[in-house]
Amino acid sequence: MKQERFVALHAKEWDSLQAWLGELDRQPKRGMRSEQALDFPAAYRRICHHLALARGRGYSHEVTERLQLLVQRGHRVLYRPPPPRWHRAAAFLVVEFPRLVRSQWRCMALAAALFYLPALALLAWLQVHPELAHTLFSSARLAQFERMYDPANPQLGRSSGTNLQMFGYYVFNNVSIAFRTFASGLLFGVGAIYVLGANGIVIGGVAGHLEAIGYGGPFWRFVATHSAFELTAMVIAGGAGLQLGLTLLAPGRRRRGPALVEAGWIGAKLALGAFAMLVVAACIEAYWSSQAGLPDALRFGVAALVWLLVLVWLGFGGRAGRHGA
């Protein structure tokens, strides 16, 4: 077969493979999810065959060189080792997780409203009617809160326990709450609504009571930093649960089963990212927030930086190379 006919017969396939390899270099995940990724092993074998034919028939250097480059690039893709697990975990947290949060922004906004509005309303109401705290909490619980945030307490936010013990407690407690918030979304979203509202009421009740009795300073100093990760993670877990519930109620044009499976995968990834945030929050809470001797300027300065970090990460993470994320 003459070279001109050989090139005309296969040039379209070569161009397609070259374009896909270029996309894979720019956006690996998107390239691997395309239909061409499924056909790539067969396409690679065909390109190797074309190269062997071109060399055997003595085609021009231009043709053989192009095929050689395609074979080399394809070989690197086909036989490269998988990235280490830590690399994949970092890529998920830095790129994929913020994109998922933004893609579900309606559910996240609803979850934030369900969580923060009751908390802020109760915080304000208790400044006018402080006796209401006794209807929300038992006397023993209120006494415990007051001991934890007593200005004379050498360790803010706790009455006993080492830093390591409290770290383990915070991880277990917060992750279990977040998991319940997410999983309860399967009750057509009603469970997630209840858990978000109930947690907002508890946090608002504690903050309002402590502020009303003059212990607000220690409380705000304690929660200022780790709350950036902790409260945001709770909202994300709630948003993940809400999108599960909304999918059950209104799957759209898809059948409910496949729609729920897809929503479950999205929700599970959101919950996993939220759990990672709660581990970070627990570390800050145990080793930083409880230190009573820190100057307020340093404590609140660090808190402002941490809140800014979380907002920038979730608002802009993963936007490079992808418009409209």
Residue 321 belongs to some domain of the structure: no
Same domain for 139 and 70, yes or no, is no
Do 24 and 131 reside in the same domain of the chain? no
- 229 and 268 fall within a common domain: yes
| Structural domain span for residue 90 | 86-316
Instruction: Note whether residue 232 is domain-resident.
Output: yes
In this prediction, residue 216 carries a pLDDT of: 94
Residues 155 and 26 occupy one common structural domain: no
Show which of 39, 62, 80 is a domain's final residue. 80
Strand, helix or coil for residue 294: coil
Residue 29, pLDDT score: 67
pLDDT of 82 reads 67
3-state DSSP assignment of residue 226: coil
Question: Does one domain contain both 268 and 134?
Answer: yes
Same domain, 203 and 106: yes
Distance CA 325, CA 320 (A): 9
Query: In 3D, which of 188, 193, 191 has the Cα closest to residue 256?
Result: 188
| Contact between residue 185 and residue 107 where contact means Cβ atoms under 8 Å apart | no
DSSP string, 28-80: HHHHHHSHHHHHHHHHHHHHHHHHHHHHHTT--HHHHHHHHHHHHHHHHHHHP
Q: What is the pLDDT of residue 323?
A: 43
**181 in a domain, yes or no?**
yes
Whether 242 and 309 map to the same domain: the answer is: yes
pLDDT recorded at residue 324: 40
> Do residues 135 and 268 both lie within one domain?
yes
Per-residue pLDDT of the chain (325 residues; tens, 9 = 90+): 788 889 899 999 999 888 888 888 777 766 676 777 778 888 889 999 999 999 999 999 898 999 999 999 888 888 877 667 777 788 899 999 999 999 999 999 999 999 999 999 999 999 999 999 999 999 999 999 999 999 888 888 887 778 999 999 999 999 999 999 999 988 888 999 999 999 999 999 999 999 999 999 999 999 999 999 999 999 999 999 999 998 888 887 778 788 888 888 999 999 999 999 999 999 999 999 988 889 999 999 999 999 999 999 999 998 864 444 4
Per-residue pLDDT, 133: 95
Q: Please indicate, yes or no, whether residues 292 and 218 belong to a single structural domain of this protein.
A: yes
pTM for this one?
Answer: 0.75
**What pLDDT is stored for residue 49 in this prediction?**
93
Q: Decide which of 33, 53, 80 is a domain's last residue.
A: 80
Q: Give yes or no: residues 178 and 217 share one domain.
A: yes
- Backbone torsions φ then ψ of 291, nearest 5 degrees: -80, 105
> Does residue 8 share a domain with residue 135?
no
Does residue 235 sit within a domain?
A: yes
Number of domains in the chain: 2
pLDDT of residue 120: 97
What is the residue whose two structure tokens read 């999810």? 33
Query: Could you tell me if residue 324 is inside a domain?
Result: no
Q: Where does a domain end: 27, 51, 80?
A: 80
Q: Are residues 23 and 134 in the same domain?
A: no
The pLDDT value given to residue 279:
96
